[in-house]
Amino acid sequence: MANAAEHSTANGHAGVIGGNSRLGAVRLLLWALAGALAVRQAVAVLRVPPAEWLGGFHLPGGLPGPGGAAAGSVYDIGQFAGTPFAGLVLKPLAGLAAPSLEVAWTCVTLLFVAAIGLVAARGLPDPVPRRTALLAAPVLTALMMVSLPVREAASPGRTAVVPVLLVLLAAFRVPGDRPAGFLVGLAAALQPALLLFAPLLWLTGRRPAARTAAVAFAAATALSWAALPRDSWTYWVHHLGGSGLGGAPDGLANQSVHGALLRLGLTGPAEVLLYAALAGAIAWFGLRRAVRYARDGQLLLAVAVTGCVAVAVSPTGWRHQLLWVLLAVAGRVGRRAADRRVWPVAVVLAMTLPSAVLLPNLTALAPVRDNVLLLTAVAAACAVPFLPRSSPYWRDPVPTAYGRPAAARWSWVPLLPFWRRVLSRPNLLLELLLIRVGYSIYSHIRAAAPASRSLAEGNGSQILGIEKALGLDIEHAVNHAVVDTPWLEAFFNFYYTSFHFVVPLAILAVLYWRRPGDYRWARASLGLATVLALAGFWLYPLAPPRLMPGLGFVDTVHGPQDLANPSYGAMTAISNQYAAMPSLHFGWSLWCGIVIVVLAPKGWQKLLGALHPLITVCAIVATANHWVLDAVGGAVVVTAGFGLVHVLSGPRGLQADLPVQQSGDGAERASAADATAAAAAEPVAGARP
């Protein structure tokens, strides 16, 4: 494991200090963003009253006694999960005044996070592009500031940031094997599973550092046994390496293999044996990969992989100990340039968003949803195929094929400079991640939209008045005609509840597989229409007919509603019932119909596509879930979505499809080159002489 201080000046960071002014300005902006996120995190912590801050997660030794000194075991209260050595180091802090300790702890923690970003950025493998070298530190620091580990690391008694910084300093900044080994041993004394770095040092030729790390860990542990014998017995023997301290071992906060098995209901000797087998396998494969990456010159990736292994195999791998996963974005994955962003995006999403945002709330997905961080760490350690530096794709991935940019439709419309027409099929995993996260964010924003009952009912009366003036107030007659016809009511109820998501997703899937260029066109228009609809939900909360009191509408889908109760039953827990204008039920169906009519090769397919929005508008009116004008609003946002895509990227006819790529490296590169050449040869539609 070579020291990163030996990086070449010609290819490394020293040659990029004098970056151009534009990159320098971007770097300053990114550091300002990281600083703002740090201040936001500090404010969130400091808003908690000092007594509650200490009471929520007690420092070792409990609160100061009458004489100002802390007394008792570090595990008396049961909230401290660190090692006895960590308790020995932190115990004197319990005697400090709460406000001063709160401020100091928070500021030092965030400064350590910034230091991790700086050191990790210096550890990127050479050669480092100028832009990456200048922007890596502020980008990584900003990501860490919003990550789940850092958001939890400011609690008193949690020292997970310190071992990460110690290991990085040992790997990249401290010259000499013995000082580096001492820092690794000190980190392992705070988090015992990090002793796995000693085998990494040994197997990469730094045997003096490995021996020093083992000796330092043993000395720190012996010191804690001598100073805190009862606490050491509690941690190492009674709780078997801290399992069960600081929280239930089967709680969601324990993102280790042991915690996952307990959450699955396994207990007793069978669980212990399975845990030992899985931990041994993860450690074996993970360390082998880490050694390979270290010998390949990817030292930061080797450190990150080893850290992921340590958290996964530890009896308790808390969320605030998982900063190692973020460091694993240093590895490069994918032979195509378009695939390079998949792994970083997946890591950032897993480390910053709640698992409920990443996966739907389905019972079958609970084992995955409850262990997202663990699975990401195990994937980084054992499964993700990081490229070696010897790979021809390390610096020269298969390029993305772009079409020639379309001319502006109108001279006064400024085109976005970053909107480029990609001709190749997007990465499926990245698409699924972004679609899921996008829909989850949409659902949360929709649910958070204003839901004032009086305002929504007032707007409903306003819509009804406009419809009466226009002669469109057919909802009541249609609703009761359907209620009096049972088979028709059953049909519209089924159509309303069954096709809203299935049809758009099926169309996107077919386009993704068969017509990737048209897939991007259709997906962008649908996304823009949905974003525009959110503005309507916020600006114009509207009670649908079924929630309007005194009008006699029958809710055929949800059953009778108690209009005297503002909660309106269980449906309010699912979504905002007043997010009705515009109707995305009709809007999405209209999008489906337009896409099918435009792209379907056969007449009967076009006919089915045209019938879908027609049946949908009948269903939303017949079931009393929307006004007629809601459907008009849905048509407006869908038209605007298609119009914006047309203005920004040109006519759909320019969205050329790529032929299906053959297997083999040369075929991939030839296919991309052919597509680029074909795109360059095609005329630019709409260009003015």
Q: What local confidence, expressed as pLDDT, does residue 6 receive? A: 42
pLDDT greater than 70 at residue 607: yes
Cα atoms found within 13 Å of the Cα of residue 107, Cβ hemisphere only: 6
Alpha-carbon span 222 to 665, nearest angstrom: 56
Alpha-carbon span 61 to 78, nearest angstrom: 11
Q: What local confidence, expressed as pLDDT, does residue 78 receive? A: 55
Q: How far is CA 681 from CA 233, 630, 654, 674, in A?
A: 76, 45, 12, 11
Give 210's contacts (C-beta < 8 A, 6+ positions apart): 181, 198, 199, 201, 202
% of the chain with per-residue pLDDT over 90: 39
Confidence of residue 131 (pLDDT cuts 50, 70, 90): confident
Confidence of residue 169 (pLDDT cuts 50, 70, 90): very high
Confidence of residue 662 (pLDDT cuts 50, 70, 90): very low
H or E stretch covering 489: helix 486-514
298-304: average pLDDT: 95
Q: Alpha-carbon torsion 264, 269, 270, 275, what sign?
A: positive
List the structure tokens of 626. Answer: 């929307």
Which residue is associated with the tokens 């962003």? Answer: 341
The neighbouring-strand residues paired with 336 are 398
Q: Alpha-carbon torsion 602, 605, 610, 613, what sign?
A: negative
136-161: average pLDDT: 85
Higher per-residue pLDDT: 80 or 205 = 205
Q: What local confidence, expressed as pLDDT, does residue 659 receive? A: 44
pLDDT greater than 80 at residue 676: no
Q: Maximum Cα–Cα distance for the chain, whole Å? A: 89
Confidence of residue 429 (pLDDT cuts 50, 70, 90): confident
pLDDT greater than 80 at residue 153: no
Q: What local confidence, expressed as pLDDT, does residue 561 receive? A: 60
74-86: average pLDDT: 76
21-38: average pLDDT: 88
Distance of CA 285 to the CA centre of its chain: 26
304-322: average pLDDT: 93
Which residue is associated with the tokens 């922007």? Answer: 135
pLDDT greater than 90 at residue 48: no
Q: What local confidence, expressed as pLDDT, does residue 59 receive? A: 53
Q: How far is CA 80 from CA 194, 244, 314, 363, 534, in A?
A: 19, 10, 17, 32, 44
Q: What local confidence, expressed as pLDDT, does residue 274 receive? A: 95
pLDDT digits (tens, 9 = 90+) for 204-215: 999 999 999 999
pLDDT greater than 70 at residue 414: no
Q: What local confidence, expressed as pLDDT, does residue 387 receive? A: 94
pLDDT greater than 90 at residue 248: no
Alpha-carbon span 507 to 268, nearest angstrom: 49
Alpha-carbon span 216 to 185, nearest angstrom: 5
385-399: average pLDDT: 91
Alpha-carbon span 649 to 640, nearest angstrom: 14
Alpha-carbon span 268 to 51, nearest angstrom: 39
pLDDT greater than 90 at residue 324: yes
Question: 398 — phi, psi (to 5°)?
Answer: -60, 120
Query: What global pTM score does this model have?
Result: 0.78
Q: What local confidence, expressed as pLDDT, does residue 20 receive? A: 66
pLDDT digits (tens, 9 = 90+) for 487-506: 998 999 899 888 888 899 99
Q: Alpha-carbon torsion 182, 185, 187, 190, what sign?
A: negative
Distance of CA 157 to the CA centre of its chain: 27
pLDDT greater than 60 at residue 138: yes
Give 443's contacts (C-beta < 8 A, 6+ positions apart): 575
Confidence of residue 617 (pLDDT cuts 50, 70, 90): very high
pLDDT greater than 50 at residue 349: yes
Q: What local confidence, expressed as pLDDT, does residue 202 receive? A: 95
Q: For residue 407, give the 3-state DSSP assignment.
A: coil
Q: What local confidence, expressed as pLDDT, does residue 371 receive? A: 92
H or E stretch covering 679: helix 665-681
Q: What local confidence, expressed as pLDDT, does residue 86 receive? A: 87
Q: How far is CA 120 from CA 10, 173, 410, in A?
A: 19, 10, 47
Do residues 679 and 403 make contact, with C-beta atoms less than 8 angstroms apart? Answer: yes
478-491: average pLDDT: 90
pLDDT greater than 60 at residue 422: yes
pLDDT digits (tens, 9 = 90+) for 577-599: 788 899 999 999 999 999 999 99
List the structure tokens of 543. Answer: 């009670």
List the structure tokens of 286. Answer: 């993970």
pLDDT greater than 70 at residue 177: yes
% of the chain with per-residue pLDDT over 70: 80
Confidence of residue 652 (pLDDT cuts 50, 70, 90): low
Q: What local confidence, expressed as pLDDT, does residue 11 receive? A: 40
Q: What local confidence, expressed as pLDDT, does residue 406 receive? A: 61
Do residues 430 and 515 make contact, with C-beta atoms less than 8 angstroms apart? Answer: no
Q: Which of 32-41, 514-523, 659-668 has the lowest average pLDDT?
A: 659-668
H or E stretch covering 358: helix 355-358
pLDDT digits (tens, 9 = 90+) for 88-129: 887 777 666 667 777 888 888 899 999 999 999 999 887 888
pLDDT greater than 80 at residue 76: no
Length of the chain: 689
The neighbouring-strand residues paired with 254 are 318
Do residues 282 and 313 make contact, with C-beta atoms less than 8 angstroms apart? Answer: yes
Q: For residue 206, give the 3-state DSSP assignment.
A: coil
Say how many C-beta atoms besides its own lie within 10 A of residue 34's C-beta: 24
Say how many C-beta atoms besides its own lie within 10 A of residue 667's C-beta: 11
pLDDT greater than 60 at residue 61: no
Q: How far is CA 502 from CA 76, 79, 606, in A?
A: 55, 47, 18
DSSP annotation of 147: S
